Amino acid sequence: MTATDLFQPGTTAVRRDVRTDRVWTAMPRRVLDDTVLVLTLAYWPGIEILAPTT
């Protein structure tokens, strides 16, 4: 892994949960730090989460 493979602090990373080959939920998070072993993310007020409804 090289430094270019890491997320840069301040960028947005989106967590996507996949179920039966389809995105089930998606939530943005802010990157605080990324090392080879740990990716530190933060939530912030007012973020929107995409999820299925019934």
pLDDT digits (tens, 9 = 90+) for 3-43: 668 999 999 999 999 999 989 999 999 999 999 899 999 99
- Asked whether residue 21 is domain-assigned, the answer is yes
Helix (H, G, I), strand (E, B) or coil at 4: helix
Per-residue pLDDT at 2 exceeds 80 = no
- Best CA proximity match to 15, nearest among 25, 5, 2, 3: 25
Backbone angles phi, psi at 4, to 5 degrees: -75, -15
- Asked whether residue 54 is domain-assigned, the answer is no
For residues 30 and 28, give the distance between their C-alpha atoms in angstroms, rounded to a whole number. Answer: 7
| Better-predicted residue by pLDDT, 53 or 38 | 38
- Asked whether residue 32 is domain-assigned, the answer is yes
Count how many domains the chain has: 1
- Asked whether residue 51 is domain-assigned, the answer is no
